Amino acid sequence: MERDYLRIIKRSAREESDESEDSRSHWDSSLSISSLREDYQAGIKTRDVVKAIFERIEAAKQIQPSIWIHLQSLVDVLHATEEITRRWPDENDRPPLWGIPFSVKDSIDVAGIPTTVGCPAIAFTPSVSAHIFQKCIDAGALFIGKTNMEQLATGMTGCRSPYGTLHSTFSKDHIVGGSSSGSAVSVSDGLVSFSLGSDTAGSIRIPALFNGLVGYKPTKGTVSAKGVFPACLHQDCVSFLTLNLGDADTVWNICRGYDKNDLFAKTITDASTYSKSPELSSHQSAGSPKLTFRFGTPPTQALAACSPIYRQMFSQTVQALQKVGGKLVELDWAPFAAANELLYGSFVLERLTTLPEGWFEEKKHLLHPVTRQVLEGALARKTTAVDLFRDLHKQAEYKRIVENILKIEEDGEMTVMIVPSAPFHPTILEVGQDPLGTNSKLGTFAHFANVLDLVCIAMPCGTYEKEGEEGEGSRLPFGVTILAGCGLDAQLVKLSTQLEDTLIDVGQDQ
């Protein structure tokens, strides 16, 4: 489904069938996967799409010059279009991502191209591409470039990169979100159809919120992280940013699967497991079928962290979900809140294991000041092995409690938790005034997801007017994250797809 506030005016190739070939070569349409497939079926050429994309990239650079850490040349991408045409000459037998442009966060290895992780001092050039990157290439996708990110994937603001600070595609004053910041801009600005990223504390979900996108974090280990530079190896999860949920589902189905080379891989993605997924329960009401699902929300005291407009938009979202059959139930928030506190306890020290032995002590001056401050603060707490094991025991306890909360009942009714993806949308100036405090608050409803190994989908829920502004360009996006139990990826995608139309219109009568 296309969203009005992200829509690039579509010129259907079918409607132009009576125009000249020269006119048809000027492609300027949506990059959603379904739309691009239709254009290709109607005769649009991949080379014309690629040329148009590079024109958009040049225009976007005038507004945000630091989107890309590495950008493929136009010549290289045009050669790639020739290769996919040679490899799959039969138009009726092409793979699902044929001719679909994508970007990757610069923590994901691409053979022959430096992986910087937003930190030039530790950059290296891999000889082998990441498993997920290769899966997309093997499905016919076109690689456009590697995107800017928060240094070492440490932070959710998008303001900690030596390559430059990005802003939301809706406002030059407001943060883009991180750590998958450039990935979000590349999709939201219509430069690629999807982006591969990672999520440890909300690094996909927060940028999705602030840029009007879908952010999909599957169950950890169901998509291979081999070749992805870790932030916290035990918590990291490869994730996706797309224009809509259908696109996220398409990319996920290409990328998912057990990889024995990923030490945290789970066998839950076997096709046999997913084929047995129960249908979501529904019942007929006057006129049309109505979903039946149960959902909880954070308690009032937790929602007090939200800005007034976020509280208002979230309340409207809850009402919209109830109207389509969702049953609002009281779920125990305590294990979610407790898990939230674990991520930046002893677990944050795992970030130091990604650096070479002794590197931090010798070269920490080369880091972004805020990144350095985070890691120095973690070391200053003098965490012991006993502290770490206690936190691991707590994590196991909270996982088991939540496993019995977010589940599918025998009758097929699903229970999910729905939260604002973040409590507010700060400006770049506000982050600069309190970088650590603001970042911590942004994770109020995000940090626990990885600790509890939940599957999450961040969904756009309309827009609202910036305070004191009206008219075109004055609106910011709002969104929620729907969370389900470990392994319930297919079921959550199914439910969220059925809710997408309902959620997109929240607050649009303001």
Instruction: Tell me which of 83-92, 271-280, 306-315, 328-337 is least confident.
Output: 271-280
Q: What whole-number distance in Å separates Cα of residue 378 and Cα of residue 500?
A: 40
Q: What whole-number distance in Å separates Cα of residue 267 and Cα of residue 329?
A: 32
**CATH dotted code for 14-271:** 3.90.1300.10
Give the containing element (helix H, strand E) for 446.
none
Say which of 203, 224, 239, 421 is annotated catalytic.
203
pLDDT at residue 291, rounded to an integer: 63
Q: What whole-number distance in Å separates Cα of residue 82 and Cα of residue 85?
A: 5
pLDDT at residue 347, rounded to an integer: 92
Concerning whether 466 is annotated as a catalytic residue, the answer is no
Say which of 30, 105, 193, 217 is annotated catalytic.
105
Q: What whole-number distance in Å separates Cα of residue 422 and Cα of residue 178?
A: 12
- Of 168, 239, 251, 248, the C-alpha closest to 210 is 168
Q: What whole-number distance in Å separates Cα of residue 306 and Cα of residue 5?
A: 23
Q: What whole-number distance in Å separates Cα of residue 11 and Cα of residue 28?
A: 7
Q: What share of the chain in percent tops pLDDT 90?
A: 85
Between the alpha carbon of residue 216 and those of residues 314, 349, 389, the distances in Å are 20, 26, 30
Concerning whether 346 is annotated as a catalytic residue, the answer is no
| Strand 475-484 relative to strand 237-242, pairing | unpaired
pLDDT at residue 508, rounded to an integer: 72
Task: Supply 51's token pair.
Answer: 């040329």
What does pTM read for this prediction? 0.92
| Strand 194-199 relative to strand 101-105, pairing | parallel
pLDDT at residue 505, rounded to an integer: 86
319-367 pLDDT, tens digit each:
999 999 999 999 999 999 999 999 888 999 999 999 999 999 999 999 9
Concerning whether 195 is annotated as a catalytic residue, the answer is no
Instruction: Tell me which of 91-105, 137-151, 251-265, 465-479 is least confident.
Output: 465-479
What is the mean predicted confidence (pLDDT) over 99-108? 98
Task: Supply 333's token pair.
Answer: 């928030």
Q: What whole-number distance in Å separates Cα of residue 504 and Cα of residue 250?
A: 20
What ranges in 223-345 are assigned the alpha helix state H? 245-255, 271-275, 300-303, 308-323, 334-342
Is 173:140 a contact under the CB 8 Å cutoff? no
Q: Could you tell me where the beta strands, DSSP code E, fall in 338-451?
A: 415-420
What is the mean predicted confidence (pLDDT) over 63-92? 97
Burial of 357 (0-12, 13-18, 19+ CB in 10 A): exposed
pLDDT at residue 510, rounded to an integer: 52
What is the mean predicted confidence (pLDDT) over 256-263? 95
- The mean pLDDT value of the chain amounts to 90
What is the mean predicted confidence (pLDDT) over 260-285? 57
Q: Where are the domains of the chain?
A: 14-271
Instruction: DSSP letter for 381, please.
Output: T
- Of 61, 340, 276, 86, the C-alpha closest to 189 is 61
Measured in residues, the chain has a length of 510
Q: What whole-number distance in Å separates Cα of residue 454 and Cα of residue 452?
A: 6
pLDDT category at 471 given cuts 50, 70, 90 is: low
pLDDT at residue 213, rounded to an integer: 98
What distance separates the 2 farthest-apart alpha carbons in the chain? 74
Instruction: DSSP letter for 452, please.
Output: T
Q: What whole-number distance in Å separates Cα of residue 195 and Cα of residue 201?
A: 18
Cα atoms in the Cβ-side hemisphere of radius 13 Å centred on 460 = 28
| Phi/psi of residue 294, nearest 5 degrees | -105, 140
Is 177:209 a contact under the CB 8 Å cutoff? yes
Buried b (16+ CB within 10 A) or exposed e, 442-464: bbbbbbbbbbbbbbbbbbbbbbb
Say which of 29, 32, 171, 179 is annotated catalytic.
179
Q: What whole-number distance in Å separates Cα of residue 195 and Cα of residue 203?
A: 13
Instruction: DSSP letter for 65, please.
Output: T
Task: Supply 255's token pair.
Answer: 């990328």
What is the mean predicted confidence (pLDDT) over 461-471? 83
Q: What whole-number distance in Å separates Cα of residue 430 and Cα of residue 451?
A: 28
